[in-house]
Amino acid sequence: MEERTIKLELVMSDGKTKKFLCDFIPQSKRLEYIRKEMALQAEKEEPSQNDYDEIQAEFVASLFDEEEVTKDAILNGMDAQDFPKIYDIIRYRVLGFKREDDEALKKAVADQLLVGQDTTISNSNLPEQSSQISPE
């Protein structure tokens, strides 16, 4: 059985780290996130990563009952290297994607790229063909 509890550690404004837990996410939250992302894409032709980070931090904050968990608390209380966890919470816990499926897809793409590299490498041993058109 997969882990359902969301664990979020934030450095609070007093400098102390506090752990927050969320055990239940209603289907309505999934629908809410999908609507928010669609609205962002309708508002901006090409939303930036910062745009996504902002709506994702705000959305994840809304999953917790504690008033201390806010968009600003997440943006200021998480180390930049830990921030991808916000995306993971949304992708895997809220939207229901499977990490194993993503990993399998990454492996398949990498394998396909390696096959392409092998072809390129083996083709480099072929004699060069002239592509110039001679004038008549």
The predicted pLDDT at position 110 comes to: 84
Give the predicted TM-score (pTM) of the model: 0.76
Report which DSSP code applies to 2. -
Q: Report yes or no: 15 and 3 within 8 Å, Cβ to Cβ.
A: no
The per-residue pLDDT string of the chain (136 residues; one tens digit each, 9 = 90 and over) reads 567 999 999 999 999 999 999 999 999 999 999 999 999 999 998 999 999 999 999 999 999 999 999 999 999 999 999 999 999 999 999 999 998 888 888 888 888 888 766 554 445 554 554 445 445 4
DSSP structural state of residue 132: P
